[in-house]
Amino acid sequence: MLTNNRDRKLLRAITRYQTYRDRRGILSRLTCMSGKAGHKLWSLLSASDIHRDAQISPDTRMPHPMGIVVHAGAVIEPGCLIMQHVTVGQLADGGAPYIEKGAYLGAGARVLGSVRIGAGARIGANAVVLKDVPPGATAVGVPARIIPNIPVPDPNQG
């Protein structure tokens, strides 16, 4: 169906555009144009605003891509899970977020400015993140408070 896997199709179109935008030749230009057209189509169908120049890993997952906004300078590494209505953008002073692999961004979260979200970090629903989140930590609230990752002891160990 047309609306199945909208996130995958959108990310494939962005990757196709980025791969061929600087290459020469008619075939490269046509492929780049198809990436642009695909980006526009899947952005419209998914109601998201992900800039074509944002560096997003193709295996980033967006189960509900409705309302996701990603700035052109943002970097999103592999294995991230981004829920609906998330904003990854800049503040007035510039700079865009860097999201490391395996991070989770809850519904409605805002990650703003030149911040780094560590590997495996979790951002709670509707949190507003304005400072770095260490790997494995959780950020919740407005503005976000950092809750460190507390290891749970293994009950099988004595």
What is the length of the chain? 158
What the block records as the tokens of 20 is 């061929």
User: What are the angstrom distances between the C-alpha of 80 and each of 33, 54, 103, 148?
Assistant: 27, 14, 5, 19
The Cα 67–Cα 143 span in angstroms is 21
User: What's the pLDDT score for residue 83?
Assistant: 94
What residue type is assigned to position 72 of the chain?
A
Phi-psi region of 136 (alpha: psi -120 to 50; beta: other; left: phi over 0): left
In three-state secondary structure terms, 47 is: coil
User: What are the angstrom distances between the C-alpha of 60 and each of 81, 104, 149, 153?
Assistant: 6, 10, 23, 31
The Cα 15–Cα 9 span in angstroms is 10
| For the chain, domain boundaries | 6-147
Listed residue (108, 98, 96) closest to 67, CA to CA: 108
Largest Cα–Cα distance in the chain? 67
6-147: CATH architecture: 3 Solenoid (2.160)
User: What's the pLDDT score for residue 105?
Assistant: 95
What residue type is assigned to position 139 of the chain?
A
User: What's the pLDDT score for residue 40?
Assistant: 82
Q: Running along the chain, 158 residues long, what does each successive block of 10 average in pLDDT?
A: 71 80 83 81 82 88 89 93 93 90 94 94 94 93 86 66
Residue ranges with strand state E in the chain? 49-50, 55-56, 69-70, 75-76, 81-82, 87-89, 98-99, 104-105, 110-112, 116-117, 122-123, 128-129, 138-140, 145-147
User: What's the pLDDT score for residue 17?
Assistant: 81
